[in-house]
Every structure is written in structure tokens, then in C-alpha cells.
Amino acid sequence: MPVYPRILPVGEAAFTVEFGDAVDEALNRQVHALDVALRACPVPGLVETVPTYRSLLVMYDPRVRAADAMRTALTDALNVLATTELPAGRLVEIPVRYGGEAGPDLADVATHCGMTEAAVIELHAQPVYTVAMLGFAPGFAYLLGLPEALATPRLATPRLRVPPGSVGIAGAQTGVYALATPGGWRIVGRTDLVLFDPGRAEPFTLHAGDRVRFVPL
């Protein structure tokens, strides 16, 4: 069994700091804590970080800091981390039209979960989710906190185009599409909130570590 956290090389210009190997809120919190710490107090040579469910990818410039020195800097950051509290992420409320044309798979999810559509909506809009990571496509937000009763397998055949703002369920996960992309998640609703606008100072509405609540319209 590996001992966590562990710092693993990703080629000559990145490390991944692994906190574990599970989809787990406590673990994901550690990822965001390290990310916040590194961004608040940038280590010389740090280029960019990519938070994911259970690890933080840290890209660096080896001209500024060689591998050993960067590994030491990350170890130091982890040691400090053990003694600090992670500030709560921003809370973003996302208004959602559930069902109908906006949520074409709501009925299937209700059938699969053995509840009414209204019960699915109520349950889905209840938790405060955490943006575990953004990935798969620009701005796609993977959220932690889906009630187990709503877990539904992906579509057998992915759609060629899922409209931006779509809210979906895949297995035990829920997520939001920022851009139109192909996708196999069960779409239960859609928001008109613009999740990506390159013209804004902050082009992406959702950031890793944010908290999210869905508000049914």
C-alpha cells in the first residue's frame, strides 16, 4: 500500500502530489488546500497547478528550480498544510430548469431510481456540492456530493452534442457542461447561467474548490 501523500514525477517539468486513490470529499479537500497554499504563496519556478479528485498536478520550470529543489518545496508546503485550515470555497448558486427539453433524461433517472421526477429534482437540489475538479472539456465541472439514491449509469450511446449549461448525472457523480461537447451523462436539467465567457476577467464561472447549490426554477 502506498503511503500518502506522495510526490510522483510527471516527466521533466511536473510532479503530481497524490493524497490517495478514491473519490472522497476529505481527500479532495486536501488537494484544494495544497492548491490554495501554493497559489497564495507561489514557489519560484511554479508554472501552473491542476487540482483533481485526489491529486494536484504541479507544473514547474526546471530552469528556475530543478526537480530535487521543487520536490523539497512541495514537501515543505505539505508540512505547513498539515497545520492550517482550508478556507471554505465560494458558494455559487446555479438556477436550473429541470426536465422537459432542458433535462431530457430526467424521466429515465426517475425510473432508474424508483422515484418521481419531482423527488429527483428535490433531492438533486438539496446538497451543497463541491467542485472537485474541472476537466474532460473546458469548464466541465465534476461535483462531489451527489446523494447515493440518484446514482444512474451513463447513456449507452453518448450524445454528439450536449448544450452548454447542461446538468448531468453519471454513476455516483453529477456535473455541469460549460461548453457544447459530446457527452454520455444523463442530462436532468440546464442552467442559463453563462459558465464560460472568454471576454470576462474571470472567463470560467466555476473554479475547483467552489461550493455549488442548484436552485430549481
Partner 1 sequence: MSNSAVLDVLDPGLLTTVQDAGRRGWARYGVPPSGPLDEAAFAAANELVGNPPDAAALEITFTGPTLRVGRECLIAVCGADFALWVGALPVPTWHALYVRAGQIVTFGARRNGARAYLAVSGGIALPPFLGSQATYLPGGFGGLDGRALRAGDRLPLGPAAMRNPAQAAGRVWPVERRPPYTPQPTVRVVLGPQDDYFTPEGLATFLNSAYQLTPEADRMGVRLQGSPIAHRGPTGIVSDGVVAGSVQVPPDGQPIVMLADHQTTGGYPKIATVVRADLPLLAQCLPGDWVSFAAVTVAEAQRACEPWRGVGITPSPG
From the list 86-94, 112-120, 122-130, 174-182, the region that binds partner 1 by CB under 8 A is 174-182
Interior CA angle at 202 toward 144 and 174, to 5°? 20
Query: How many residues form the binding site for partner 1 (CB under 8 A)?
Result: 49
Helices 106-113 & 117-124 angle (0-180, nearest 10):
90
Nearer to partner 1, 59 or 151 (CB): 59
47 binds partner 1 (CB under 8 A): yes
DSSP 182: E
Backbone angles phi, psi at 210, to 5 degrees: -65, 155
114 binds partner 1 (CB under 8 A): no
Cα gap 174→95, rounded to integer Å? 15
57 binds partner 1 (CB under 8 A): yes
Q: How many CB atoms lie within 10 A of CB 135?
A: 16
72 binds partner 1 (CB under 8 A): no
- All three cell numbers of 189, joined, read 436539467
- What residues pair up with 162 in beta bridges, in sequence order? 181
Q: Which residue from 3, 11, 101, 157 is in contact with partner 1, where contact means CB under 8 A?
A: 11
- Closest distance of CB 132 from partner 1, Å: 9
Cα gap 36→50, rounded to integer Å? 11
- Closest distance of CB 19 from partner 1, Å: 10
Binding to partner 1 in span 116-155, by CB under 8 A: 133-140, 142
Binding site for partner 1 (CB under 8 A): 2, 8-14, 16, 18, 21-23, 35, 47-57, 59, 61-63, 66-67, 133-140, 142, 178-179, 181, 198, 202-204, 207-208
